Amino acid sequence: MTAFILRRFIHSIPLLLLISMVVYGMISLAPGGPMSAFEENPNLTPEDYARLEKQLGLDQPPYIRYFTWLTGYSFRRGDQVAELSSSKTPCRYYGWVDITVCDSGSGILRGDWGYSTATRRPVLTEIGERLPNTLQLMLVAYVVTLLIAIPIGILSALKQYSLFDHVATFLAFVGQAVPIFWFGLILIIVFNVWLKNPISPSKGFDWSHFFACTDCKPLMPGGGMAPYGVDDPTLAQRIRHMVLPVTMLALFGAGTYTRYMRGQMLEVIHLDFIRTARAKGLNRPTIIWRHALKNAVTPVITIMALDLPGLFGGALFTETIFSWPGMGRLFFRSAQRVDYPLLMGIVMINSMLIILFNLLADITYAFLDPRIRYD
């Protein structure tokens, strides 16, 4: 097992390098760029624009910018030491090749992920500020998804072709077919615009206020992590602001997990070892929960492992629709501004997490299924 893990880690190094090259090339081909935000500024002269572009290194070819992002070194033809050198980026001229080499001190291979071209803040600082918000939302949604999908999938398989099975399968297909952004907007319209809190500040509690009340607050917040102007929200306020985005994510994910769990359980409960367990006189709960579930959940772990990096990457549509300050919304804003360092930082973190969780899934297989060995 140790040799297998080491081999997988060694293989991941060229894989991550290839991913970074492909993603950086695709970002470079995108229209616009970090300098597009300054094009409409009337106070910026063409000379200022060119100087700013050179300071950010955006006048260089994409392969030079990629090498600078990777190692921290940039190359320019000719002697430009006096123009480019500073306390942060010392430069040196090599006359025999007529090239000026600048060392920015940052570079992903050095453990420094650089600075955002839009905010001029460290990439890891930008990510670190939003990662806890994303984990708070995504972990709750993930737990709710599993609590809904796995029991329903098991019961649907055990009661095949029953009314419960037909309803569960229908809802699972609906959950997968409905566009998630449309469903989020519907949730906001219904629970934030139409429905009101039945507790009125002037008249007290009245169920009639649920649909019509002039001075009642919305039943559920339509966005954000806390009420406007509140810096330290209470637990109840946090939960209220999480209800709609968690509902949106959980119902969307439950459709996928329910179908996979149902399909695997249907396959396992008709295998020979389950019939043997019944012939030995084992009771039904023991057969289902101890023998069938352990074997049925193994393929589902693959889907779970591929989805786990999304807990750190955030939900693009959900965080954007509900104004949740997390990783998904940060990625969307970075893509709008073509913020190369920040986009690459988010993509590389997600790539590393995907590789890591797939390795953990393979290791988990060996514990759940004794037939699997990596020796």
Q: Which of the listed ranges 22-36, 187-201, 263-277, 284-298 does the model predict with the highest average pLDDT?
A: 263-277
Query: What are the tens digits of pLDDT across the range 226-254?
Result: 887 777 788 888 888 999 999 988 888 88
Q: How confident is the model at residue 205 (pLDDT cuts 50, 70, 90)?
A: low
Banded pLDDT at 144 (limits 50, 70, 90)? very high
What span, in angstroms and rounded, lies between the C-alpha atoms of 220 and 153? 30
CATH code, domain with 204: 1.10.3720.10
SS3 148: helix
With bands split at pLDDT 50, 70 and 90, how would you rate the model's confidence at 100? Answer: confident
pLDDT above 90: residue 166: yes
Residues 40 and 140 in one domain: no
Taking the C-alpha atoms of residue 195 and residue 170, their distance in angstroms, rounded to an integer, is: 27
Residue 277: count of CB within 10 angstroms of its CB: 19
Residue 94 lies in a domain: yes
Supply the DSSP symbol for 214. Answer: S
CA distance 117 to 58: 10
Residue 321 lies in a domain: yes
Instruction: Supply 161's token pair.
Output: 């072709």
Instruction: Kindly state the helix (H) or strand (E) to which residue 103 belongs, with its residue range.
Output: strand 99-103
Residues 73 and 160 in one domain: no
Q: Which amino acid is residue 373, in one-letter code?
A: R
Q: Judge if 84 and 127 occupy the same domain.
A: no
- Whether the pLDDT of residue 56 is over 90: the answer is no
Q: Judge whether 96 and 315 are in contact, CB under 8 Å.
A: no
Structure tokens at 38: 């300054």
Average pLDDT over every residue of 43-65: 79
Domain that holds residue 63: 31-110
Helix (H) or strand (E) holding 9: helix 2-29
Residues 164 and 252 in one domain: yes
pLDDT at residue 168 tops 80: yes
pLDDT at 163 over 90: yes
What's the pLDDT tens digit per position in 8-32? 888 899 999 999 999 988 888 877 7
Query: 350: part of which helix (H) or strand (E)?
Result: helix 340-368
- Is there a single domain that holds both residue 200 and residue 281? yes
Query: Environment class of residue 274 by beta-carbon count within 10 Å: exposed (0-12), middle (13-18) or buried (19+)?
Result: middle
Confidence grade of residue 167 (pLDDT, cut at 50, 70, 90):
very high
203 and 342: one domain? yes
259 is written with which tokens?
Answer: 């179908």
CA dist 197 to 205, 227, 229, 296, Å? 9, 15, 20, 44
What is the largest distance, in Å, between two alpha-carbon atoms of the chain? 86
